[in-house]
Amino acid sequence: NAGVTQTPKFQVLKTGQSMTLQCAQDMNHEYMSWYRQDPGMGLRLIHYSVGAGITDQGEVPNGYNVSRSTTEDFPLRLLSAAPSQTSVYFCASRGQVDNQPQHFGDGTRLSIL
Amino acid sequence: QKEVEQDPGPLSVPEGAIVSLNCTYSNSAFQYFMWYRQYSRKGPELLMYTYSSGNKEDGRFTAQVDKSSKYISLFIRDSQPSDSATYLCGFNDMRFGAGTRLTVKP
């Protein structure tokens, strides 16, 4: 049971570098989302997608891009990393019906120096 | 006023104690209420889910929702060291509390 798989688990970047956080799910879920988790602030929604080819912004989208070319994959791109983007990033997925709770990956810990 | 407020703790209890975890919210549009458990260096995992006022029980866990007061609680009976984790409340699976760190000591 793979569920939601995130890679890499850890990453250190320098300010200004770009990178892509990978997320894949094998549950055929239409809805996928990205969160960042910071101490004292809980999970905050960055971007989400309700299906292939459809994405939308969440609560804190600035500095991040997403695309959804397949049902399975939902990568998150940092265009020019900033120290404020140091965080733990979680990808999640769920079925299309609104009231279904989400399944989370184990996160990517990102440090930006 | 924050949309969701959760006491961050930390909370430390002896094994066998009853634990009460709480969140308040201000958004009347919240209709679905979740509790997630998150172990260190892991993603949140769903523990309890409800959409109505009242109590929902699952083994040692009871979720309580009071929509009129905009208040939700999670009770853990006969707490075990394996319950040591951070507990997050969730609303419509889009807004989350900051989490309460719980330690159950043997």
CB-closest option in A40, A42, A58 to B88 = A42
CA distance A22 to chain B (A): 15
The conformational region for residue A54 under phi > 0 = left, psi -120 to 50 = alpha, else beta, is beta
What pLDDT, in 10s, does the model give residues B63-105? 999 999 999 999 999 999 999 999 999 998 789 999 999 999 9
| CA gap A99, A92 in Å, rounded | 14
Cβ neighbours of B4 in A, within 8 Å: 42
What pLDDT, in 10s, does the model give residues A77-95? 999 999 999 999 999 999 8
What pLDDT, in 10s, does the model give residues A25-54? 999 999 999 999 998 888 999 999 999 999
pLDDT at position A1 over 80: no
Structure tokens at A110: 């990102």
Is B43 in Cβ contact with A90 (below 8 Å)?
yes
What residues contact A40, with CB distance under 8 A and at least 6 apart? Answer: B8, B98
| CA gap B34, A111 in Å, rounded | 30
In this structure, are residues A71 and A13 in contact, taking their beta carbons and an 8 Å threshold? no
